Structure 1
Amino acid sequence: MVKIQKISRLEPTLGFTEFDIYQCYKSSFESSELGRLHALFPFKSFCQSTGLVSSRVGRPSLFSPEGKVALMLLKSYTGFSDADLVSHLNGNIHFQLFCGVYIHPSRPLTNHKIVSAIRTDIAGLLNVERVQEVLAVAWKPYLENLHVCMTDATCYESYSRYPTSPKLLWESVNWLQQYLSRFSREPGQRCPRNKFADVSRRYLAYSKKRKRKRSSTRMIKRGLLRLLGKQVGQMKEVLDKRGKEPGLSPGFHERFSVIQKVLDQKTRLFDGQKVSGRIVSVDKHYTRPIVRGKETRSVEFGAKVNNIQVDGISFIEHLSFNAFNEGTRLQQCIELQQRLFKTRVKAVAADAIHVTNANRKYCTRRRIHTSFVRKGRVAADEDQRKQLRSALSRERATRLEGSFGTRKQHYSLDKIKARIKENEILWIFFGIHTANAVKMIEKV
C-alpha cells in the first residue's frame, strides 16, 4: 500500500459527493501565512539553480524536488525536530499542501530519518551565491531602498558541549579504547596493554569534583596525553597488521586522523606553545573558537556569518567556521548588493569595526554616504550629514541586529544540531531565508 502520494497526481481522483472538503482546505491554505509564504518562495528556480531533480532511476522519491525544499523551509518555520515534523506532517493538511504531498490517515509516515536524508541531499548541491541570486530576482520587485546597504556579522553556534581539554582528550581516549577492544575480539588478536583502567578511574574522580584545582587539571591532562599517545601508537600497529582488510569505514579513518591532530595540538598547548586552528570537537572537527567579546559569552563555537541587509531582507556575504575580521569585507558587501540587485549603493550602515581608512577612502571615491563618525574638518552641510549618519546607525542597530535575535529564537538557529559541515551550512541558509520569506509577506 502506498503511504504517500504527490498532490499533482492525486488531485484529479479526489471526489466528494456533497462537499468538496479538500478544496476548502486548499482555499484556507492559500489565505494563511503558510500559503502566502509558499507563494512568495521561488521553488522552481531554486531547484533549477541547485540541480535538484526527480530521480529517474529506481523507485520514485516520495517528495518532488520542490517538495524537498518546502520541507526544509517548513522545518525552519516551525522549529520542530525531525520526528515532530513528520508527526505533524501526517496530521496537518496545510503542511501536506505546503510540501505538495498527500498522506493517507491510515498509513502515516513513520520514518523521521527521511528529513535528514533530504537535508543531506540538498546540502550536497547547495551553492549559496547562486541561490541567493535567484531569491534576489524573485523578491526585488517588492523591496525599497535598494541603494542602502547595512552589514554586520554574527555567530550561529553549533550544538555541542563546552570544549575543555580534559573532556576532548577523554572522548578521544575512550573512542580509541573501544576500537582496540573490538579488534582484540577477532581471531589471532589480543588487546594491547595500556593504563586505560587507571586513567579512567582518575578521570571519573576528577569529573565528579565541583571545584577543580589547576594542579589537578594539569595532572589529569598529563595522564590523558600519555595514554592517548600510547593508544595512537597501538592503533597504528593494529592497522598495519590488518593491512587493507575491509570492515573499516572512511569515517573511522577520518576520526582517527582528527584524534591525531588533537593529540598534537594538546601536547603543544600543554608545553606552553601557541596553536592555530584549534580543534574543539572530535565530532564536529570543522568548528573553531570564535572570539566575540560579548559580556555573557566571550567565545562561541560555530559558523561566523557576515550579512548584508536590504530593506529588512538579509543575505549571506561570507560564511566561515574560522574566525575572520568582518571589518575588512565592507567592499565585498557593497559589491554583493550591487550584483544581486543591479543598483548602485549610495549609503552604507556598519558598526565601529568597519571604520578604517581603507573603507573610508573606498566609500569617498564612490560617493557613498556612511554611518561612520566624521574624521577631519567640519563640512558646510554637517548638520544634514549628521542626521543621515544617525538615521543609518539607528536603522542598522534596530533592524539588522534585531533580526539576528529573531532568527536564533524563532527559526532554529540558536543551537544548530546538524552533524556534518554541509548540513550545518544548509541549516543556517534556510533559517535566514525562511525568516526573509516571512518578512516578505508584509511587503506584498
Structure 2
Amino acid sequence: HIQRPRNKYLDVRRAYLAYSKLRKRRKSQTRMLTRRLLQLLEKLLDQLELLHSSYRNRLTLSSDYQRRFSVIQTVLEQGKNLFAGKKVSNRIVSIDRHYLRPIIRGKETKSVEFGAKVNNIQIDGISFIEHISFKAFNEGVRLKDCIHLQQQLTGVRVKALAADSIYANNANRKFCTKYHISTSFKRKGRAAKDEPLRKILRSELSRERATRLEGSFGTQKQHYSLARIKARNRKTEVLWIFFGIHTANAVCMIEKVEKKKRKAA
C-alpha cells in the first residue's frame, strides 16, 4: 500500500514532441519547455534519492550507477545555472562520457567536435603521440616539447621541421632560430641574402607535411578504426587511439623493412 510517486513525465514528453515538430520556435516557447524539463528532472532525482534513503539497507548500488547518478545531478545544476543566465565551465555534454568537452574547430562542415584532441609528431613516416587530452588546448605552445621528444627518441639533433601555421608564434620562431632549425613557417621581416634557397626549403617541408602527416590522419581514420571510436570510458578510448596509431606504424615499418631487404638483395 505504498503510494506510487507522481510526476508529469507524460505531459512533458507530449509537450516536447509537439515542440520538436514546430518549424519555427519562439524564444518564450523554448524557455517554457526548458523550465518544465528542468523541474521534471529535479523531481525525478528527488524521488530517486527518497528511494535510496528508504531502502538503503536492501539496495546494493554499483559504482557505475552511483557515478551516473552523480553526473546527472551535475547536469541538473549546470542546466539551472544556464537557465539563470550564468556562465558554466566544464559543461557536461554526454552522460556516459562525462569527460568530453566541446572543441571549437572552425571548420565548414563541423564547427564543433567532441572527442580526444591529439598533438601528433611524425618521424620518417612513424607517428608518435606527444600529448592527448579531452579538453581543448593550444598545441602551438607545445613545439619545444615535440622537438625534445623527437631528439630523445632518435638521439639526433633536429635540423628541419614542418608544422601547422598555429605553431608559427614568435616564441617558437626564436627557439628555432637559436638552435638553427629550419622550418616551414612563412617569413617575417626583412628577407635574408639566401632567401630563394630558404623559400625552396620551406616549400619542400610544407609539401612533405601535407602529403605525409595529413595523409597519415586520413589513413588512420579510414583503415584503423579512428574515424568513429566506440569506447564508452576514458581509458578504453585512449587505448583505442594508441592501438590505431601504432598499428598503422607497424604496417609502415613492415613496408620499410621489406624495402630495405629488397635493396640489400
Determine if the TM-score, normalized by the shorter chain, exceeds 0.5: yes
- What is the identity, as a one-letter code, of the residue corresponding to 2:91? R
2:19 counterpart (206, 212, 225) = 206
CA 1:414 to 1:274, structure 2 compared with 1: closer, same or farther past 3 Å? same
Query: Which structure 2 residues correspond to residues 359-378 of structure 1 after superposition, within 5 A?
Result: 359-378=172-191
Contact in 1 for aligned 2:81/2:88 (Cα 8 Å):
yes
Match of 1:31 in 2: none
> Could you tell me whether the CA contact under 8 Å between 2:52 and 2:59 is conserved in 1?
no
- Corresponding residue of 2:167: 354
Q: Does 1:279 align with 2:78?
A: no
Residue 258 (1) aligns with residue 62 (2): no
How far apart in 2 are the matches of 1:433 and 1:371? 26
Q: Report the Cα offset of residue 314 of structure 1.
A: 0.7
Count of aligned positions: 256
- Equivalent-residue separation in structure 2 for 1:253 and 1:191 (angstroms): 23
Other-structure match for 2:261: none
In the other structure, the counterpart of 1:436 is 249
Q: Deviations over 1:329-348 (max 9, x none)?
A: 11111111111122111112
Take 2:57 and 2:201, find their aligned partners in 1: how far apart are those partners? 68
Q: Name the SS for the 2:103 alignment partner.
A: strand
Matches within 5 A, 1:147-162: none
Structure 2 matches for 1:112-127, cutoff 5 A?
none
RMSD over aligned Cα atoms: 1.7
Q: Distance in 2 between matches of 1:199 and 1:376?
A: 63
1:405 corresponds to which letter in structure 2? G
| Runs (5+) with no aligned partner, structure 2 | 258-265
Q: Give the match's secondary structure for 1:427.
A: helix
Q: Describe the SS at the equivalent of 1:285.
A: coil
Unaligned runs of 5+ in 1: 1-187
Q: Per the alignment, do residues 265 and 359 of structure 1 end up closer, same or farther by CA in structure 2, a change over 3 Å counting?
A: same
User: Residue 286 and residue 313 in structure 1: after superposition, are their counterparts in 2 closer, same or farther (change >3 A)?
Assistant: same
User: Paired residue for 2:225?
Assistant: 412
**Which residue of the other structure, out of 42, 48, 63, is the alignment partner of 1:229?**
42
Q: What TM-score does the superposition give when structure 2 sets the normalisation length?
A: 0.90
Displacement, 1:360?
A: 1.1
Distance 1:424 1:357 in 2: 35
Q: CA deviation at 1:240?
A: 2.4
Instruction: Please tell me whether the aligned partners of residues 290 and 322 of structure 1 are also in contact (alpha carbons under 8 angstroms).
Output: yes
* Residue matched to 1:422: 235
8 A contact 1:330–1:354 mirrored in 2: yes
State how far apart, in whole Å, the 1-side matches of 2:24 and 2:195 are: 58
Would you say the 8 A contact 2:120–2:130 is kept in 1?
Answer: yes
Deviation at 1:192, TM superposition (A): 2.5
**Higher RCO (Cα < 8 Å, 6 or more apart):** 1
Is residue 193 of structure 1 aligned with residue 6 of structure 2?
yes
Are 1:304 and 2:117 matched, yes or no? yes
Decide whether aligned partners of structure 1 residues 212 and 190 sit closer, same or farther in structure 2, where only a CA change above 3 A counts: farther
Q: Per-residue deviation at 1:412?
A: 0.8
Aligned-partner residue type, residue 236 of structure 1: E
Is the deviation greater in 300-309 or in 268-277?
A: 268-277
CA distance in 1, matches of 2:201, 2:87: 45
Q: Identify the match of residue 218 of structure 1 among 31, 41, 59.
A: 31
In 2, the alpha carbon distance for the partners of 1:210 and 1:234 equals 32
How far residue 214 of structure 1 moved from its aligned partner, in angstroms, is 4.3
In structure 2, how many angstroms separate the alpha carbons of the residues matched to 1:195 and 1:331?
57
Query: Normalising by structure 1, what TM-score?
Result: 0.55
Matched residue, 2:262: none
